[in-house]
Amino acid sequence: MHQLKTFYVILLFCITFIAAQTMLQSQTSLPTRDKIADKYKWNLQDIFKSNADWAKEFESLEKDIKKFNDFRGKISKSSKELLNYLEYSNLIGQRFSRAYLYTALGKDTDLNNSEFQVMFEKMQKLAAEYSALTSFATPEILTISEGDFEKFLKSEPKLKDFEHDLRGTFKMKKHTLSAEEESLLAKLSPISQIPNTTYSILNDAELPFPTIKLADGSEVKLSHGRYRAALYSLDREYRKAVYKGTYEPYEKLKGTYATLYNGRLKTRIINSEIRKYSSPIEASLYGNDIPVSVYDNLVNVVNENLKTLHRWANIKKRALKLDELHPYDTYVTLFPATQKEYTYDEAIEISLKALAPLGKDYIDALKFSFENRWIDVYETKGKRSGAYSNSSGAGPHPFILLNWNNTLDDVFTLVHEIGHNMHSYFSEKNQPYQYTGYSIFVAEVASITNEALLLDYLVENASSKEEKMALIEKFLIGAQATFFRQTRFAEFEKITHDRGKSGEVFTAESLTKLFAEGYQKYWGSEMVTDYEEGLSWARVHHLVNYNFYVYQYATGFAAAQALASQIKSEGKPAIDRYLKFLSSGSSDYPINVLKKAGVDMSTKLPIEQTIARINKYLDELEKLMRE
């Protein structure tokens, strides 16, 4: 139901908060916020003029959420009572979201600011109370019979504004148990989360990473961050040492990791059976009305075209002059001498030119965001690291957080977050509050479409052959990681769940063997799949903590490539469809929203077009390398 929308937003904020605590680095040499010009900082007065104004709203919300008790036992009685509840829920949801956004953004600008920390914690506490006070609503709505619901729609025209959301709720009715059974499952929920919780503690906090000795005699204490950074290092022996060392604790604890994986597997299988789904994957996709065939189609078409990734492996092996290509060689650049620096102001100009194919309405909105402090640009003391786009769904506008370091990656990050921002902006501008959000299935499409347009622009305007080759390589590494790799994960996830449903219990050895076989199949004969790569099933947290999630990275990548191509080749008709996509929010199921934009993910075509785009860039790269 739409009243839960706020809490999905809250969950994202909570994840951001946790990440901020773990990623905050030593920032003693960084400038404080007062040293940064205002034009490069958020203007939080767009939300509340002062903390005192926020405090007044918080006090009012504390009182007003208690009024939800007045609706208990009434909302299924008549169309008028149902409408009253939905409208009140919308009103409170909008106010609550804005108040939450204010504290979350304020906190992230300075994690040492105790005032915003206290305000944020107050909002978290109020969120829990809000959730409890509205928990009666969905079960009560589901007591309305199908016939009475149709009568409600006819007798109260304003309910049409909520029809899609309500039908989505009723769609879940056949997979919803009795109130007593749902209560029992809710009580068991903390137990079913034990594999996830234990995995997170083990993998993110307690994993005993070793200290390794390098060829020069120096020592390095390994970590997740150092592992990722090492894969891009030009020093092959260093890459290999960090890669091998990182997997030492996974090898020692592989039995524990296998137990956690089996626990999560069994939980998903049992829950899907209890709720009368044909499989865990159907249970995961059903709420968004995505056919299982979409998932299968992605895996099957990618498998039919693995020669494209094999080709990329061959190019890398030859260019790096290696006798053997190993997994730790797949991310290192072939063109290290082409690094350029970009100021933020230069990146603004590049963004406006690269995204010009999206049309005047998009560019006008983008210019307005640049000119009105929607973006917090520079790294400052105490600021949350990384980048994101956040919005309340209820205005005043979306916000982008950056930590600018003058790199090409920063330029791509900017246009990526602009994609999210404009998606939220146009949805909020054109949809009522209950439909301003959008699902993960389409969330990355707008951001990756922007990246595709930026890449095309930069390649077309490259100042040298070397720069053009480096840009093409950036796309190919992105395709390797986001398209092929995530599809490989999705295939592994499907195989293990299918076998688990048939009664198989996996050992650490069988999981490692299965994962290594998938890696070898995807990369082909040029690759030497190290034993450590087989252990990656234990390192990839998405495979334990998320439920059939990773395929959406690959489908989003494919949809974005198709949309970018249509926009450039068709012009206005494609632009109009795309802006409608950005403006649709959750007013329809995500696969339908994409179809209206011109991409049907239930067919092979977008996947095949993505493969063709990758091959086109491989052709161009090989041609340039021969010259």
Catalytic residues: 417
* Separation between Cα atoms, residue 248 and residue 533, nearest integer Å: 12
On whether the CB atoms of residues 9 and 399 are closer than 8 A, the answer is no
Taking each helix axis from N to C end, the angle separating 508-523 and 307-319, rounded to the nearest 10 degrees, works out to: 80
Give 277-319 as a 3 state SS string. Answer: CCCHHHHHHHHHCCCHHHHHHHHHHHHHCCHHHHHHHHHHHHH
For Cα atoms 169, 175, 177, give the angle at the middle one, nearest 5 degrees.
100
Residues β-bridged to residue 52: none
What is the DSSP code (8-state) at residue 38?
A: G
C-alpha 553 chain-centroid distance: 8
* Separation between Cα atoms, residue 620 and residue 205, nearest integer Å: 44
Bridge-based pairing of strands 375-378 and 399-404 is parallel
Give 549-595 as a 3 state SS string. Answer: CCHHHHHHHHHHHHHHHHHHHHCHHHHHHHHHHHHCCCCCCHHHHHH
* Separation between Cα atoms, residue 438 and residue 403, nearest integer Å: 26
CA neighbor of 25 nearest in space, from 206, 223, 233: 223
Contacts with 585 (C-beta within 8 Å, 6 or more apart), sequence order? 427, 428, 430, 431, 435, 436, 437, 438
* Separation between Cα atoms, residue 163 and residue 153, nearest integer Å: 8
Per the listing, tokens 């409890």 go with 132
On whether the CB atoms of residues 384 and 20 are closer than 8 A, the answer is yes
* Separation between Cα atoms, residue 608 and residue 610, nearest integer Å: 5
On whether the CB atoms of residues 81 and 74 are closer than 8 A, the answer is yes
Buried b (16+ CB within 10 A) or exposed e, 503-525: eeebebeebbebbbebbebbbbe
CB atoms under 10 Å from CB of 141, counted, come to 20
On the CB side of 76, CA atoms within 13 Å amount to: 15
CB atoms under 10 Å from CB of 577, counted, come to 18
Terminal C-alpha separation, the chain? 59
At residue 388, the 3 state secondary structure works out as strand
What is the DSSP code (8-state) at residue 3?
A: G
Length of the chain: 627
DSSP track, 316-340:
HHHHTT-SSB-GGGSSS-S-GGG--
What type of residue sits at position 451?
E
Element (H, E) at 399: strand 399-404
